[in-house]
Amino acid sequence: MKLLTKAIEKKIPGLRDTEGQGMNAVAVVKYFCPWNSWTWYGVEYDGEDTMYGYVVGMAEELGYFSLKELAAIKGPYGLGIERDLYYSPKTLKEIAG
């Protein structure tokens, strides 16, 4: 599965473009791990590899993550990180509830 499409690239702001929006910033894309509860929401993208967003794992935090690193993760039966094909962009406030 392709983690980043051209359509998503056109929609997602560059790094630091949403500064000052806080929890009103919009997560454009969602990635998830099908064998555990880790989820990554992409808010900004540097155009090469790095995304800034909201990460839900052992804790919930805002931070940077690498698409190359997500693509390299392999789980049981060769499963990899997937992009949620049915996700609609939401503010971080909506996601964090």
Residue 62 token pair: 């805002």
The secondary structure of residue 13, as a DSSP letter, is P
Question: Given a cut of 90, is residue 9 above it in pLDDT?
Answer: yes
Please tell me the pTM assigned to this model.
0.96
pLDDT tens digits, 23-76: 999 999 999 999 999 999 999 999 999 999 999 999 999 999 999 999 999 999
What's the confidence (pLDDT) of residue 37?
94
| Cα 9 from Cα 5, distance rounded (Å) | 6
